[in-house]
Structure 1
Amino acid sequence: MKSKTLLFGFICLILVVMSACGSKTGSTSKDTNSKSDKTLVLAAYGGSYEKKMKETVIPKFEKEFGVKVQYITGSSVDTVSKLQAQKANPQIDVAFIDDGPQAQAKSFGLLAPLDEKIVTNLANVYDIAKDKDHIGVGFGIITTGLAYNKKLFEENKWEPITSWNDLADPKFKGKLVLPSISNTYGIHMLVMAAKANGGSETNIEPGFEKLKEMAKNAVTFDKTADVSNYFLQGQTVASAWGSSRVFTLKESGFPIEFVIPKEGAPALMSTVSVVKNAPHEELAQKFVNYVLSEEVQSEFAKSLFDGPVNKNVKLEGDILEKIIYGQEQVSKLVKIDWESVNQKRAEWTERANKEIEVAH
């Protein structure tokens, strides 16, 4: 009887040990899986960009790489502010920023160089979209040019505008809404007015002189970067505006036309960058490569009117009339020297507010 009791106790002890070991093994396995479960954090644009990213781009990336993607919505300025606040302990892996603010983020040391061994699609990207240090890359090209109401021009028997200087034509007095220098379109207009009159980013005075002439025709200076309502309500017959926004309004049936001025039009680049010391840097590099792929580039072109930066993207049909596409068109664009602009931007903004925009 005693031996049976000992045997029973011994069996129970073995079962308890086995159970404990099994539990420990299971627990270790679960922890390991938990640690390998990565979530890539993106800071990116809202609106149509967010919709397209969440509908198609992100789900395909999550499936291909077996990860989750968290999307933080915000403007370029908002994103740069977040990156600055988190500099000591970054929480964001990938940042989508317009080229102007992106140049600022680079100068603040907030972004990491792209690894060309991982971002292999970088080799297929137009030079205009590349950073000289490979810190971030443009993933979509639009341009700031001139937009005008074709119907009103025809009624007034006006010739289509062809030059940045045309915005200073006295016949437009009281008929223009122009972009404020506080947004990218306004900066582009100032720089191109300078270039059209012998100046540049480092010699901006000719731009200010011409902007003062343009201001005599302006009803107001728009700070929202969206002059569509001014066109719709007949408050402006022309303006400096982005190609993608013009074609979006044109798709609604409004008689608006887009013009690349004879002096050239600046590229307005949406960029994607890996954050310096990102929690998942390698995965972030893979995401940038994914965004530069032919498949995703085609998605952005068809849905958002972003000209593809990948030279190998093949498109055809009506979309070609609404985007910057191909080497010939890309080569005509002006690449803004944002390093020089950002050094003077606060000064220019204050000057424009006091000397030009305050009266409106």
Structure 2
Amino acid sequence: MKYRIASAAVAVSAVLSGTAFAQDKTLTINSFGGAYEQAHRTCVIDPFEKETGAKVQIVTAYSADAFAQLRAQKDAPQFDVINFSGGQEIVGAAEGLLSPIDASKLSNAGDLYDFAKANFAKGEGPAYSIAAIGLVYDSVKSPKAPTSWKDLLDPALSEHLVLTDISNGYGMLGFLMLNQSEGGTLENIQPGLDAVSKLLEAGAIVVSTSPEIQQEFAQNDAWIAPYASDYAYTLRKAGLTAKFVQGSEGTPASFITSNLVANRPNQELALKFIDISISKAAQECFAEALRYSPTNSKAELSGEVAADVAYGEEGVKGLIRFDPAKIEANRKAWVEAWNKTIAQ
């Protein structure tokens, strides 16, 4: 997801001003704007408000910006629930900005896959959706359906391959998976850079944003791109014959988490909001609306929706989460190395 902030500091101030603010019946959360925020309201916020009679105040702020606010407000936080897609909950929990969660207070926690609730005691909230990164391909133009990350190296595809710059979060995860499939690690990304160099020499191109991927598929004869499952759905809605497949070596995952902010007075109400976020109904709704992969094992999806996501025990078994802390620590150096590679 591209990070954006919509005058968040002003919005938070406006939301929380006035002595009439009812702490026990109002929650302040962040959401990510656009279609995501619409789905967030439909799938979670509206059901929460209907069930509890509480009100939810939304600040539109993507993960990096929301985390910066949380840090700045450490002594007087203004969010009750904070949502992240870039692993910021790991750092936030370590810094004491997030509260540990008692799973017994979440009626839906028992239905979550283990990976989605692994660090409640540390303060890391549950993953309530997954953006799965795999192979998006044109099911009509591509000579074969890809099955492996190594298929990206097929010479027959080179002139029809779209790579995404690693300044893009999904692009970073796709690159790290290509690097791993070529024998690289988070300590050594050179195999991935070497592979990218060969692909560019053979005719592949690099774009920076998801709309550029759509343009390449629609206008410039692109057949395949390592990218997120939800984007195959976006391409199909635009009239393109796109499908998504998980690579056999594994599926990088961007965890979208819902986290309990520390030092807030209405944590019971906030826990109720988180509980609804991880419910079967909410996750089915997110999958239907946006093609995010559910983390609730009880979620039931139609065949059409299931084909676009990592679904069920088998589907989630191959999910890989590259350490967000290591990514962040190395991001600057990796981007510099990437830029040198694609400039050659």
Determine if the TM-score, normalized by the shorter chain, exceeds 0.5.
yes
CA distance in 2, matches of 1:219, 1:197: 17
TM-score by length of 2: 0.84
Taking a change above 3 Å as real, the CA distance of residues 175 and 36 of structure 1, as seen in their structure-2 partners, is closer
Taking a change above 3 Å as real, the CA distance of residues 202 and 276 of structure 1, as seen in their structure-2 partners, is farther
- Residue 3 (structure 1) aligns with: none
- Residue 336 (structure 2) aligns with: 350
CA distance in 2, matches of 1:231, 1:106: 40
2:299 pairs with 1:310: no
Paired amino acid for 2:81 = V
Match of 1:87 among 74, 77, 90: 74
Q: Secondary structure at the match of 2:104?
A: coil
CA distance in 2, matches of 1:202, 1:114: 32
More divergent stretch after superposition (119-128 vs 38-47): 119-128
Match of 2:105 among 98, 109, 118: 118
How many residue pairs match? The answer is: 323
Identity of aligned residues (%): 34
Q: CA deviation at 1:56?
A: 5.0
Match of 1:337 among 320, 323, 338: 323
Paired amino acid for 1:199 = G
Mark the runs of 5 or more structure 2 residues left unpaired by the alignment: 1-18
Contact map agreement 1:176 1:219 (CA 8 A) in 2: yes
CA distance in 2, matches of 1:107, 1:350: 28
- Residue 26 (structure 1) aligns with: none
- Residue 265 (structure 1) aligns with: 251
- Residue 137 (structure 2) aligns with: 148
Contact map agreement 2:23 2:266 (CA 8 A) in 1: no
CA distance in 2, matches of 1:307, 1:233: 29
Contact map agreement 1:185 1:225 (CA 8 A) in 2: no
Q: CA deviation at 1:317?
A: 4.3
Paired amino acid for 1:202 = E
CA distance in 1, matches of 2:154, 2:58: 46
- Residue 181 (structure 2) aligns with: 196
CA distance in 2, matches of 1:33, 1:86: 21
- Residue 75 (structure 1) aligns with: 62
2:166 pairs with 1:181: yes
Taking a change above 3 Å as real, the CA distance of residues 180 and 33 of structure 1, as seen in their structure-2 partners, is closer
- Equivalence map 1:90-239=2 (5 Å): 90-132=77-119, 133-153=122-142, 158-217=143-202, 220-226=205-211, 227-234=213-220, 236-239=222-225
CA distance in 2, matches of 1:228, 1:254: 9
CA distance in 1, matches of 2:112, 2:320: 17
Q: CA deviation at 1:229?
A: 2.1
Taking a change above 3 Å as real, the CA distance of residues 279 and 199 of structure 1, as seen in their structure-2 partners, is same
- Residue 227 (structure 2) aligns with: 241
CA distance in 1, matches of 2:268, 2:170: 34
Taking a change above 3 Å as real, the CA distance of residues 272 and 215 of structure 1, as seen in their structure-2 partners, is farther
Q: CA deviation at 1:105?
A: 3.7
Q: CA RMSD in A?
A: 2.5
Contact map agreement 1:43 1:94 (CA 8 A) in 2: yes
CA distance in 2, matches of 1:175, 1:319: 26
- Residue 296 (structure 1) aligns with: 282
Kindly name which structure, 1 or 2, has the bigger radius of gyration based on alpha carbons. 1
Paired amino acid for 1:343 = A
Q: CA deviation at 1:347?
A: 1.8
